[in-house]
Amino acid sequence: MKLLYFAWLKTKTGIAEEEVAPPPEVATVADLLAWLQGRGPGHAEALADLSALRVAVNQEYALPGDPVRPGDEVALFPPVTGG
Amino acid sequence: MIRVQREDFDAGKEIAALGAGNRAVGGVAAFIGLVRDMAGGEAIGAMTLEHYPGMTERMLERIEAEAAERWPLEATLIVHRHGRLEPGEQIVLVATASAHRRASFEACEFLVDWLKTKAPFWKLEEKASGAEWVEARASDDDAAARWRLPGTKSESDAAE
């Protein structure tokens, strides 16, 4: 699974993208976020407030209950501020 | 048509080209977003627009298609820049062409409101106190929500 981090999620984790292999019990977006919180201090800080996060799975906005699978591209970012 | 690019654009040329040769076009509306030199009472030296290549284009194409479904449009254009921009520089151009002004005005406003809340761009402002990521504004969500059709939910209300 490929993870992408944007804006301050990239700054706080110190990572723009990484390849991860979560355990099989990580089946949803919510599971993945909980698993990532335990991945290190940078991740824990970046993912401390899940209400400040938006998630896209394969470039589509996703909800906490949406499934994630090996091979997916999952992006984590704050609410968007373009325009 | 949508374009995401680093380079500046010539708004006059872009607008003139929109629907050029199409005699059904009776009105063109355009919005140009610029970098201001102030934010929250603090001077801005520059801002950097980060985006999510791939998803950005996908979302812009989708909101453009949504506008074409809702209004009788002859042509639409969204040009959005990324990278480091200084005050006074152009960020975004949205233009809509239709037979009549109402559809042009409304669709243009709709596109701007929706791209601000759905297209994956993030602004990093350079201030004297340091670089700061711009926070999303509730007023932008409210502006976008005005265009929501009854019985639908926002795609960007994700992971809450």
pLDDT confidence band for B158 (50 / 70 / 90): very low
Instruction: Please judge whether A81 and B54 are an interchain contact, meaning their C-beta atoms are less than 8 angstroms apart.
Output: no
Return the pLDDT at B125.
96
- CB contacts, 8 Å: B33 with chain A: 83
Compare CB distances from B158 to A6, A8, A55 and report the shortest one's residue.
A55
B121, B124, B137: best mutation site toward chain A, by most A Cβ within 10 Å? B121
DSSP chain A: -EEEE-THHHHHHT-SEEE----TT--BHHHHHHHHHTS-HHHHHHTS-GGG-EEEETTEEE-TTSB--TT-EEEEEPSP---
pTM: 0.92
Q: Across chain B, what does the average pLDDT equal?
A: 93
- The DSSP code for B86 is -
Q: Which two tokens stand for residue A18?
A: 């990484």
pLDDT in tens, B33-64: 999 999 888 999 999 999 999 999 999 999 99
Q: What is the ipTM of this complex?
A: 0.95
- CB contacts, 8 Å: A78 with chain B: 122, 133, 135-136
pLDDT confidence band for B154 (50 / 70 / 90): low
Return the pLDDT at B159.
40
Task: Say which range, A7-11, B114-118, B151-155, has the weakest mean pLDDT.
Answer: B151-155
Return the pLDDT at B155.
53
pLDDT in tens, A47-83: 999 999 999 999 999 999 999 999 999 999 999 999 9
Return the pLDDT at B150.
83
- Residue B110's contacts (CB-CB under 8 Å, 6 or more residues apart) are B66, B67, B70, B71, B147
Instruction: Please judge whether B122 and A6 are an interchain contact, meaning their C-beta atoms are less than 8 angstroms apart.
Output: yes
Distance CA B158, CA A28 (A): 13
pLDDT in tens, A9-51: 999 999 999 999 999 999 999 999 999 999 999 999 999 999 9
How crowded is residue A67: how many other Cβ atoms within 10 Å of its Cβ?
A: 12
Residue among B16, B143, B36, B7 at smallest CA distance from B77 = B16
Instruction: Please judge whether A56 and B133 are an interchain contact, meaning their C-beta atoms are less than 8 angstroms apart.
Output: no
Residue among A5, A80, A11, A50 at smallest CA distance from B160 = A50
- The DSSP code for B133 is E
